[in-house]
Chain A
Amino acid sequence: MEKLITIRSIAAPLMLPNIDTDIIAPMKRILLNGDEIEKYGFEPLRFVDGDGDAGILNPEFVLNQEQFKNAEILLCGENFGCGSSRENAPEAIVGMGIRCVIGTTFGGIFFKNCVNQGILPIRLKEQDIQELVVLSKTGEETLVDLENQNITLSTGRIIPFVIDDFQRYLLMEGLDNAGLTLKKAEAILEFEANDKLNRPWVYDLMERCEQ
């Protein structure tokens, strides 16, 4: 995973609410084109008739527009990434060159999956997002600074944002957190040993029953 510290880019507005992970990463494509999911990201919106095989780009889709083609920041409508837990959704987004998604609310699982795929998800107030949407049409770039947790608009205004320290650390260091947690394996096993006395049913049958 690439380390992420600052992003300077134009921001592309995709303001439809409730864009779900089936739209972002259609199951058909996960199964048939799993290794190149970015080619089919947002298939139902990105291609005419939602048909990625015919491959005719829908000019209404923001990332197909000349001005936004190379955007690394995506401005999203509410509840972006709702639905299925599939991590192929942020994988498709990062494969399309997006490193930061900004919205009012996100699907909860999607939000965490973004961090694990090296995308910075930022929650902002509706009015701040509206300002970003207006500014996006000017062609000016926005600066997102993860270390200092703020966004500098092209007008010079600075908007602070909050992200969990641990998620920020993972994004900045590009770490595999299972490896970090495994260093605490002894504490986990000790927890289980004590827990077994209080809640034996959690362990007993699973460890005993024949497989």
Chain B
Amino acid sequence: MGKTIFEKIWDIHVIEHLPNGSDMLHIDRCYGHDLSGTMAYRMMKKQGYKPLNPALTVSIPDHTLSSKAGRTIDDTPISKSFMPAFEELSKEMGIRMFGLNDPRQGIVHVVGPETGISLPGMTAVCGDSHTCTHGALGMMAWGVGTSELYHVVTTQSILVTKPKLMQIRLEGTRSPDVEAMDVILYLIAQNGAGFGAGYAVEFTGPVIREMEMEERMTICNLTVEMGSEYAVIEPDDKTFDYIGGREFAPKGQMMEQLVSHARQLRTDEDAVFDLDITIDVTVIKPQISWGISPEHTVGIDEMIPGADAVAKDDSLQKALAYMDFKPGQAMLGIPIQRVFIGSCSNGRLSNLLRVADVVAGKQVADGVEAWIVPGSRLVKREAERLGLDQIFRDAGFLWGEPGCSLCGGCNGERVAPQHHCVSTTNRNFMGRQGPQSRTHLVSPTTAALAAVNGCIVSVAETV
């Protein structure tokens, strides 16, 4: 019987089969960020441990930093309390750091792929659930807690049980106004936020093959919102083109060696998945979340669940009460107060180009505070080289410094209570963007349209 790419990557990383059925796997890349990295390094220091192979770990601050121009680590009480220890411990342990002023600084899941530190066939972990993003390169990458991160940095290995395997095959033709974000939000809405629990998901099919690398990253990024810790996409020519020339990617003969290795990692024709599903993307429309779980998502021109559905479901009642919506209410026309464009879901150059298409020559609506925060300093430089920052500033957006920013509010930046924030991020949880904040997850285009209209609108309406 053949093997899937996930099993092949797993197998080449086994250091030891453990008697209980789990395995000790080698971890090729370990990312420490300013919150969980600092906590894990502190645990190591307390135990007197040093990394077994410090060269394979990278420290990148993203969560606690301010988004404001001219920022320093003293700008937020949080970065002030975490950053000095993060820097000091990284140095003490011999761990490479892309610090505040490093030209490679940014969100871990943007920086890893774009620097070529994450490469096909690798294993990678970070103390961050969105590490599944790197799976877009054909990797086994997943988020871990602080204790596991401490284990990995200390031993360059992890003890883990193989998940079940699911194939999600995407077929059909995407409508031109449907972005990768809409596709994955639709999948979560259709199947539920816990649907993928216990599975690693491989995305296949013609729609995935046609997607650009940054779109694949968006798909993999939100797979954890479906309950799966791992997402993977088979590497192809687009993957290899993407990697080529990046700082930490191999060159010349070693690159050829990597490509031929990665080509062998594809899922065999006779490989068997524990679960196979096929989705026709032709029916997908732009999506928007209305509630407090990513599964509370509808087509933008649709209504939120009606009175009958709500009456028999406590969780829908909770969501409606929190968002202050009525059963059966339409999403279109709902006024908004904040817009946030960025994050590890949609903070890459291709996302910003889409936003620029919508907002060029227009103005952010009165009463709306709209931010665009590039995912990394590299994305920021590229965007500025293309003049996008000027377009955004002229339209009235705040053009921020790279980091996680308003996605999880870890730097103290928040959405005010009861305010609706249209956001290209991945979580609309209660209080996520600030106590009593109301988040709507959308694609970059939908977010841009909301910013200039002051309410939720669809592309169809504006044509």
User: Which residues on A are within 8 Å of B, measured CB to CB?
Assistant: 15-18, 20, 22-23, 26-28, 30-31, 43-44, 49-51, 77-79, 82-87, 105-110, 112-113, 116-117, 164-166, 176-179, 181-182, 184-185, 187-189, 191-192, 195, 198-207, 209, 211
A211, closest chain B residue (CB): B96
Q: Are B194 and A84 in contact (CB under 8 A)?
A: no
Chain A contacts for B78, CB-based, 8 A: 31
- Given A22-B432, A166-B22, A206:B52 Cβ within 8 A: no
- Given A27-B410, A112-B144, A209-B247, A166:B193 Cβ within 8 A: no
Instruction: State the CA gap A189–B122 with chains docked (Å).
Output: 17
Q: Is B381 among interface residues, defined by CB-CB distance under 8 A?
A: no
Q: List 17 A-B contacts (CB under 8 A).
A: A16-B315, A22-B427, A28-B434, A79-B194, A105-B198, A105-B227, A107-B197, A109-B143, A109-B145, A113-B147, A164-B20, A181-B24, A188-B155, A199-B12, A201-B249, A201-B255, A207-B55
Q: Are A187 and B198 in contact (CB under 8 A)?
A: no
Q: Is B386 among interface residues, defined by CB-CB distance under 8 A?
A: no
Q: Is B173 among interface residues, defined by CB-CB distance under 8 A?
A: no
Q: Are A28 and B295 in contact (CB under 8 A)?
A: no
Q: Are B431 and A43 in contact (CB under 8 A)?
A: yes
Instruction: State the CA gap A121–B52 with chains docked (Å).
Output: 31
Q: Is B148 among interface residues, defined by CB-CB distance under 8 A?
A: yes
Chain B contacts for A211, CB-based, 8 A: 96-97
- Given A164-B161, A166-B159, A207-B55, A109:B129 Cβ within 8 A: yes
Chain A contacts for B258, CB-based, 8 A: 199, 201
Q: Is B436 among interface residues, defined by CB-CB distance under 8 A?
A: yes
A204 CB, min distance to chain B CBs, angstroms: 7
Identify which of A49, A50, A83, A192 gathers the most chain B CB atoms within 10 Å of its CB: A83
Instruction: State the CA gap A106–B229 with chains docked (Å).
Output: 11
- Given A50-B436, A83-B129, A199-B261, A26:B431 Cβ within 8 A: yes
A78 is contacted by which of B21, B194, B435 (Cβ under 8 Å)?
B194
Q: Are A164 and B22 in contact (CB under 8 A)?
A: yes
Given contacts A26-B435, A204-B254, 6 further A-B contacts (CB under 8 A): A16-B318, A17-B193, A79-B227, A181-B155, A184-B157, A188-B156
**Using a CB-CB cutoff of 8 Å, which residues 5-43 of chain B contact chain A?**
12, 15-16, 18-22, 24, 26, 28, 35-36, 39
Q: Is B49 among interface residues, defined by CB-CB distance under 8 A?
A: yes
Chain A contacts for B21, CB-based, 8 A: 164-165
Q: Is B121 among interface residues, defined by CB-CB distance under 8 A?
A: yes
Chain B contacts for A200, CB-based, 8 A: 250, 254, 257
Instruction: State the CA gap A178–B295 with chains docked (Å).
Output: 36
**Using a CB-CB cutoff of 8 Å, which residues 195-234 of chain B contact chain A?**
197-198, 225, 227-229
Q: 8 smallest A-B Cβ distances: which pairs?
A: A79-B194, A116-B147, A165-B20, A113-B145, A87-B145, A201-B250, A22-B429, A85-B143
Q: Is B401 among interface residues, defined by CB-CB distance under 8 A?
A: no
B412 CB, min distance to chain A CBs, angstroms: 7
B185 CB, min distance to chain A CBs, angstroms: 15
Q: Are A85 and B127 in contact (CB under 8 A)?
A: yes
**Using a CB-CB cutoff of 8 Å, which residues 386-436 of chain B contact chain A?**
408-410, 412, 427, 429-432, 434-436
B227 is contacted by which of A49, A82, A199 (Cβ under 8 Å)?
A82
Q: How would you classify the secondary structure of chain B's contact residues: helix, strand, loop or mixed?
A: loop
B315 is contacted by which of A18, A27, A107 (Cβ under 8 Å)?
A18
Chain A contacts for B229, CB-based, 8 A: 108-109
B314 is contacted by which of A16, A31, A191 (Cβ under 8 Å)?
A16
A102 CB, min distance to chain B CBs, angstroms: 15
Instruction: State the CA gap A27–B150 with chains docked (Å).
Output: 21
Instruction: State the CA gap A207–B54 with chains docked (Å).
Output: 9
Q: Is B53 among interface residues, defined by CB-CB distance under 8 A?
A: yes
Instruction: State the CA gap A95–B182 with chains docked (Å).
Output: 39
B125 CB, min distance to chain A CBs, angstroms: 10
Instruction: State the CA gap A82–B315 with chains docked (Å).
Output: 15
B103 CB, min distance to chain A CBs, angstroms: 14
B248 CB, min distance to chain A CBs, angstroms: 5
A9 CB, min distance to chain B CBs, angstroms: 24
- Given A191-B15, A195-B26, A200-B254, A20:B161 Cβ within 8 A: no
A20 CB, min distance to chain B CBs, angstroms: 5
Instruction: State the CA gap A79–B147 with chains docked (Å).
Output: 21
- Given A84-B408, A185-B52, A201:B432 Cβ within 8 A: no
B243 CB, min distance to chain A CBs, angstroms: 10
Chain A contacts for B15, CB-based, 8 A: 184, 187-188, 191
Q: Is B154 among interface residues, defined by CB-CB distance under 8 A?
A: yes
A205 is contacted by which of B228, B250, B261 (Cβ under 8 Å)?
B250
Q: Is B101 among interface residues, defined by CB-CB distance under 8 A?
A: no
B55 is contacted by which of A16, A50, A206 (Cβ under 8 Å)?
A206
A31 is contacted by which of B18, B117, B412 (Cβ under 8 Å)?
B412
B408, closest chain A residue (CB): A27
Chain B contacts for A185, CB-based, 8 A: 52, 155
A113 CB, min distance to chain B CBs, angstroms: 4
Identify which of A15, A30, A85, A204 gathers the most chain B CB atoms within 10 Å of its CB: A85
Q: Are A192 and B227 in contact (CB under 8 A)?
A: no
Q: Are B128 and A85 in contact (CB under 8 A)?
A: yes
- Given A112-B144, A166-B18, A181:B151 Cβ within 8 A: yes
Identify which of B142, B315, B429 gathers the most chain A CB atoms within 10 Å of its CB: B429
B329 CB, min distance to chain A CBs, angstroms: 21
Q: Are B429 and A108 in contact (CB under 8 A)?
A: no
